[in-house]
Structure 1
């Protein structure tokens, strides 16, 4: 084949390729899929419930709430039943020996002198007064939660009864969470106390700290108490939280 014919053939082929390419619609590049960040989860626990029927007002907050009820309090059983029927989670707020306490200061309080059998007896009696309890957290207990043997026995009892444990961390030296994990008891710790001080500025600071911590570690457990000031504060703050950034859940949804 002569060079002019070869060159013409090449031009013909190139023109056919170009015309075919022009005939095809342009391909759009699809940007890589980016999943929206998941909201930080917050479990709100209301401690010390049971002394007043007005405590049930916390159940009207439009979020999941875990209600920690004191056994032996006048309205323990009624409030546990009401909370359960309203779809909220019930927790036994179990009294435990605090630093400086030599003897039990309230009925049913666990102390370092208790045997395993006595711990089980007190636990079962408390659970009878707080029906529907799915877990346990410590009321006071700054001394007892530091005692390895007592916590080991308590976790054995909770394991047998298929209950979880929330370490309220009333002592920095607590071994409760450690013993729960060692005995296969689902557990988590308290991260923030909301209302150690009831002044508005203190509540604001604790709330802001909670939100920052929840975002940092993707979840947080906050304990509050059934004070009128706390209820008013929560009623004002909760509706302002962006649902795409924060989600309220029950304690059982955050367990290790």
Structure 2
């Protein structure tokens, strides 16, 4: 082009740049359209793209439901019956989470006959099985088969039979089976809160012959008697310290000696000193209520410092998901643990058994677990049923002092 004697040149890359800009704007427009359409779909408004099919795709890749594990229990029972085990000798329990517990009372001959077939059938279902054989004090052989799918425990099958009598030479007594010497490494610590009001319930706990931990409210009617009897009979004692909750909630037990966030450090320490004088057998302390106090760093700093000074441990009952108490204890070099399962914190006591099995499963998965229960008749009945089975699950009950993080 010429303008007078001036020649104007059109840039060589003009068309290329214009095309690139057009492509970028087109892509941005498409992305915006897709995003707006998906936004409409997520808000259940009119959308034009097949987002539903993507939802179906997600459903296909969802993890197996508890019904899959129920199918596994049925498969095992049918397999055992086909191989000569009487249905009357098999009992099956299922939890709400899908865990299964199958107990089989059999004979040494029957077990020897079906063992290899059973393990082969389980393997064919692509289920890993960890088998452990132990001899009980009564001479009964207990075979525990832990079933695992994708590194997660699905349940247990327990075979029980009486060991056959074998003649032994007097000069060479046969050694004990190696499995009897094996120490169970997975630990469960169970705390019974709100103790100190019912000595009869304490005697029931003692009769369980299990190293439980009892958390005693210092101002309870029989607090000192409870601590003395529990300690004498192998139960670990800790202080169940009443702490302020949100909404000024105070339970019927523990209103006396309540530590509030508005108290001075001197008043808080005075209560702690008095509680320890009342319960000198205490090895540690956990909070009673405390959804507000355990989120207050100033209050918890006083309590944790007191525990460090007295060489006591701290158990966070986790009455609030925002509790800072456990982390603060570790930060200040105080041995600590944190509750993972409440067995009976709500009114639905029918689920206590399921929650105890959940506690067992956490110990199997993580090596240890901590649970808290309360002195309710329903809880006691579940403990009577399940505590003797602990070794069948590959677990050992221990006091809280044996599962502390330091």
TM-score category, normalised to shorter length? 0.7 to 0.9
Matched with 2:285 is 136
Q: Which one of the candidate residues 87, 104, 111 is aligned to 2:234?
A: 87
Matched with 2:264 is 115
| CA distance in structure 2 between the partners assigned to 1:101 and 1:144 by the alignment | 11
Q: Which one of the candidate residues 184, 187, 211 is aligned to 1:64?
A: 211
Give runs of aligned pairs for residues 102-181 of structure 1, distance below 5 A: 106-181=255-330
Contact 1:81 1:131 in 2 (8 A): no
| CA distance in structure 2 between the partners assigned to 1:197 and 1:54 by the alignment | 23
* Residue 251, structure 1, aligned to residue 397, structure 2: no
Unaligned runs of 5+ in 1: 1-35
Give the drift of 1:138: 0.1
Q: Which one of the candidate residues 63, 73, 77 is aligned to 2:224?
A: 77
| CA distance in structure 2 between the partners assigned to 1:205 and 1:87 by the alignment | 27
Matched with 2:197 is 51
Give the drift of 1:243: 4.9
211-220 or 196-205, which moves further after superposition? 196-205
Give the drift of 1:156: 0.8
Deviations 1:38-66 (A, max 9, x none): 54100010100011222212122121011
Structure 1 moving runs of 4+ over 6 Å: 102-105
Unaligned runs of 5+ in 2: 1-181
Give the drift of 1:158: 1.0
* Residue 227, structure 1, aligned to residue 373, structure 2: no
Taking structure 2 as the reference length, what is the TM-score of the superposition? 0.52
Higher RCO, 1 or 2 (CA under 8 Å, sep at least 6)? Answer: 1
Taking structure 1 as the reference length, what is the TM-score of the superposition? 0.81
* Residue 41, structure 1, aligned to residue 208, structure 2: no
Matched with 1:195 is 344
Gap change, CA 1:236 and 1:38, over 3 Å in 2: closer
| CA distance in structure 1 between the partners assigned to 2:404 and 2:382 by the alignment | 27
- Length, aligned pairs only: 222
Give the drift of 1:131: 2.8
| CA distance in structure 1 between the partners assigned to 2:256 and 2:185 by the alignment | 41
Structure 2 residue matching 1:241: 3-state secondary structure: helix
245-254 or 234-243, which moves further after superposition? 234-243
| CA distance in structure 2 between the partners assigned to 1:144 and 1:200 by the alignment | 28
